[in-house]
Structure 1
Amino acid sequence: MTRPPVPTMVNAYAPGADLPAETAALIDRRTRVLGPAYRLFYEKPLYLVRGEGVWLYDAEGRRYLDAYNNVAAVGHCHPRVVAAMAAQAGVLATHTRYLHETVLDYAERLLAHFPPALSQVMFTCTGSEANDLAYRIARAATGGTGVIVTDNAYHGVTLATAEMSMSIGPAVAPGPAVFAIPAPSPANYPEGIAQGFAAAVTEACRKMRAAGIRPALLIADTVFSSDGLWLDPPGFLAAAAAAIRAEGGLFLADEVQPGFGRTGGQMWGFQRHGVTPDMVSLGKPMGNGYPVAGLVLQPQVVAEFGAKSRYFNTFGGNAVAAATALAVLSVIEEEGLMQNAAATGALFRDGLAALAAEDDRLGQIRAAGLFLALDVLQDGAPAPREAARIVNRLRDRGVLISATGPLGHVLKIRPPLPFGPDHVAIFLQALRETLAA
């Protein structure tokens, strides 16, 4: 099948930009030793040296309000997380084939946040590994190989998951068993998103079977962030999950971006849809920057894989990772960060709506908790270059966001979970000044 065109990364580094000498030298050095495939954000890349809470600091001491990073979900360098990481590293840091109680303590605490049917967890180092493992398990459970993804998806950087990631560029073509369907937007499914998206899943399975491929897996980022953040109506994913199961496949909820309370009011994005997945992949926010990730499963799903294969990941769920992830989970629970995402996210959405009412360059707002998207338009049409200008001018004013969507015209706002009303006010003022300029 043909991969959709990948938009130019217009908010990225512009060679020749006027940069401090130290930053320019660092870019030259980076290019020389890291090669051509890496990318930098912003026309004038940031040289960051420190982070604290929702703030990042550059080499010249200037601070930036971070409205983008879900990696440091509980805030950059949270003291409790750093202390847990350091304490465990000072006692034991080894591989996962020895017994250790902390990983079991964490597994039990984590699973308590899931529906009872999702009662087992396997640990990895990255979300890419978790999605790759899910695909292996799905193949064993179903006897199939066919995968359904959305047409600007991102699910990882292993060979298998890169072939499922339409958004990362044409160097890796979709695998022969990967079938892309349109993202769940009103424009793509005017007949109704739940009905239309489920029908697209069924049609993809029909095409698989016509090609001699058996369906194995529907994988969906439950907020469809790379597709432009498609969230509503709540509940629409349940029909798609039923559709893939009717064809003998499994439903994998990719919670790497929306998980751990970000959507506000619930711990996981799939809970907005009233559906229990067969598997759930976790990643970036799990360790607040420490490389720990996982795959939560219904036991019957992994039974066949476990009977015929062994799973070993040298560092997936090691003692330091488990201690770090346990501290992150405790911070989310005890500091009320899921509840803060709901309250602050609602305030944020209202503020963006007020700005959009004053400026016809700002279009639809889509939001759940502290995950927000804002379309940028020119004469009513998607305007990726205008979006890139806004992203870069906000950076100049000390506020960090990015852009997303298949055309690159959607402002992507995804701050650390401690983001509060004062930070929203700073963001809105910077956006107001940027638009006025």
Structure 2
Amino acid sequence: MTSKSTIMDTNSFSADALDLLDGETRQLVERRLTVLGGAYRLFYQHPVHLVRGEGQYLWDAAGAKYLDMYNNVASVGHANPTVARAVADQMMRINTHTRYAHENIVDYSEQILATMPSEITRAMYMCTGSEANDLAIRVAREYSGGTGIIVSSEAYHGNTDLTSRHSPALGGGQPLDAACRRVRVPSADAMGGPGSLARENSGQAFAHEIEKAIDDLESHGVRFAGFLADSIFSSDGVHPGQAGWLAPAVDVVHRHGGVFIADEVQPGFARTGEAFWGFARHGVVPDVITTGKPMGNGIPVSGLFARDEVLSAFSDRLPYFNTFGGSPVSMAAALAVLHEIQTRDLQQHALQVGERLRTELRRVAERHAGVGEVRGVGLYTGVDIVSPADGQTADGALALAVLEGLRERRLLTSVAGAAGNVLKLRPPLVFDMRDIDRACTTLDETLTALDA
């Protein structure tokens, strides 16, 4: 099985391929490598030079138009005019830190908390999802008195020192925290995929895995602190499962005195269609909720929302301050995003368009032996790319070939899963019914070319 770090390296530009680029792009990439080095890896073996966006579309420097099926950052669409105006207007007035009183942070906190369970009453703000998850782990440890955090086997929760140590998706080069335990997410079939025989038991089976991980922590003298999870399990290969299957695991967490941290960077802000928050599909109430990318449509802003008694265990003892977190401009962006989602009913839109997209993708799958299961919820879909020889074995190399073929045909996305064989389709929420035909036709053409 290919490690995640290898997948990330393969699905990125290599300086060895510099001679294959045309003049203008080559010059730009050379300049980039000179000043940024290799840490900031470019997507694709042939990098895309993007200069403009609108809604779900992007344009490169040559004027070619791309369909974006990857970016949940621009959740309400690239260059959204409502968000752009809100940011510009606020920037022309004032932008400073949260040590001064300002309406935006209070207005947003009241409005976003109204979308959450009544038990969640407190808010804090940062700039990135990594910072939010970093703080969430610290809060869980203070509240529980433990240090052991459980994550899924291919989880990604951030790039700070603390969150990277709880992100096995970064691969073998990234050491995990000694008090971190990984639990395998059930297969798509076990969680209620097409033809499943085990869907009734998947929730209990996963809860048993959590219980075993807690027992393992305790057997090593480590007190359990909490379970940190993205409820759509995106890095594990997009496994949303049947609504409600996660509830037994959360019950186990609480029974053992732990904190359930719902990482909503991927499934939140109406992405699943079935609920505004991913965890809400499962009928559970988290102790801590973290948000990031889609919250500001490209403006750096993230949040942590929690039960009062859980957050107080941290905030009443330890000061926390984030210079740019919760600034008037970032809150103006967040308010505008929330307004767009609610007034345009993008949650229902995500539900309807996502269901139709998967229906059409399954029709494409019927024509190609290299496509396995298509699964997802709302506007988050995973497409298994498998060996055409048996129609079952994960095929990461073929998935990367598909990815490059889609890029050549001007459709942008990425891969996920332990073997890097799952196409991760996660377009802006404004992705529309009219885009489905282009997306499916492009995938069909790419697979046909590879079949040949």
What's the TM-score once normalised by structure 1's chain length?
Answer: 0.97
Looking at structure 1, the residues matched to 105 and 57 of structure 2 have their Cα atoms a distance apart, in angstroms, of 31
**Aligned with 1:228: secondary structure?**
coil
- Alignment of 1:375 with 2:384, yes or no, is yes
CA distance in 1, matches of 2:140, 2:11: 37
Task: Give the aligned residue type for 2:216.
Answer: K
1:391 aligned partner? 403
Task: For residue 67 of structure 2, give the secondary structure of its aligned residue in structure 1.
Answer: strand
What residue identity is the alignment partner of 1:214?
R
Quick one: percent identity of the two aligned structures?
A: 44
Q: Give the CA deviation at 1:37.
A: 2.2
Per-residue deviation, residues 299-319 of structure 1 (Å, max 9, x unmatched): 111122122112211111010
SS in 1 for 2:17: coil
- Of residues 300-309 and 83-92 in structure 1, the stretch that sits farther from structure 2 once superposed is 300-309
1:298 paired with 2:307, answer yes
Please give the secondary structure, in 2, of the residue aligned with 1:123: strand
Question: Partner letter of residue 16 of structure 1?
Answer: A
Pair 1:266 & 2:275 matched: yes
The equivalent of 1:163 in structure 2 is: 165
- Tell me, yes or no, if the aligned pair for 1:182 and 1:188 is still in contact at 8 Å: no
Equivalent pairs counted in the alignment come to 435
Cα pair 2:188 2:239 within 8 Å, conserved? no
Alignment of 1:205-354 (within 5 A): 205-354=214-363
Q: Is 2:122–2:311's contact at 8 Å kept on the other side of the alignment?
A: no
Unpaired runs of 5+ residues, structure 2, are 192-197
Letter in 2 for 1:111: L
Distance 2:289 2:3 in 1: 26
- The secondary structure found in structure 2 opposite 1:42 is coil
Using the TM superposition, give the Cα deviation of residue 89 of structure 1 relative to its aligned residue in structure 2, in angstroms. Answer: 0.6
Residues of 2 paired with 1:121 and 1:280: CA distance?
Answer: 9
Q: Which moved more, 1:18-27 or 1:256-265?
A: 18-27
Contact 1:106 1:322 in 2 (8 A): yes
Matches within 5 A, 1:176-191: 176-185=178-187
158-167 or 13-22, which moves further after superposition? Answer: 13-22
Offset of 1:233 from its aligned partner?
2.0
- Out of 80-89 and 179-188, give the one that drifted further: 179-188
Looking at structure 1, the residues matched to 107 and 409 of structure 2 have their Cα atoms a distance apart, in angstroms, of: 44
Counterpart amino acid of residue 385 in structure 1:
A
Query: Aligned partners of 1:244 and 1:266: how far apart in 2?
Result: 23
Distance 2:422 2:121 in 1: 37
Q: Distance in 2 between matches of 1:344 and 1:258?
A: 16
Q: How far off is 1:5 after superposition? A: 6.6
Corresponding residue of 2:423: 411
User: Normalising to structure 2: TM-score of the pair?
Assistant: 0.93
SS at match of 2:7: coil
Compute the RMSD of aligned alpha carbons.
1.6
Correspondences of 1:78-97 after superposition (within 5 Å): 78-97=80-99
Matched, 1:76 2:78: yes
CA distance in structure 1 between the partners assigned to 2:117 and 2:221 by the alignment: 35
The match for 2:127 is 125
What is the match of residue 373 of structure 2? 364
* Alignment correspondent of 1:16: 17
Structure 2 counterpart of 1:35: 37
Secondary structure at the residue paired with 1:119? strand
**1:4–1:151 CA contact under 8 A, matched in 2:** no
Give secondary structure in 1 for the equivalent of 2:44.
coil
SS of 1:16's partner is: helix
- Per-residue Cα deviation, 1:261-280 (whole angstroms, up to 9, x for no partner): 01113101101111111111
- Structure 1 spans left out of the alignment, 5+ residues: none
Matches of 1:205 and 1:124, distance apart in 2: 30
**Shift of residue 224, structure 1, vs aligned partner:** 0.2
Q: Distance between the aligned counterparts of 1:305 and 1:358, measured in 2? A: 55
Q: Is the 8 A contact 2:238 2:375 kept in 1?
A: yes
Name whichever of 8-17 and 48-57 sits farther off. Answer: 8-17
Alignment partner, residue 433 of structure 1: 445
* C-alpha distance after superposition, 1:192-246 (max 9, x if no partner): 3211211111111111111111011100011000000111122111111111111
Q: Is the 8 A contact 1:263 1:368 kept in 2?
A: yes
Q: Residue by residue, what CA displacement relative to the aligned partner does 1:163-192 show, whole Å, maximum 9, x if unpaired?
A: 000111333200111111112325789693
Whichever residue aligns with residue 66 of structure 1, its letter is D
Is contact 2:156–2:166 with CA below 8 Å preserved after alignment? yes
Aligned letter for 2:86? A
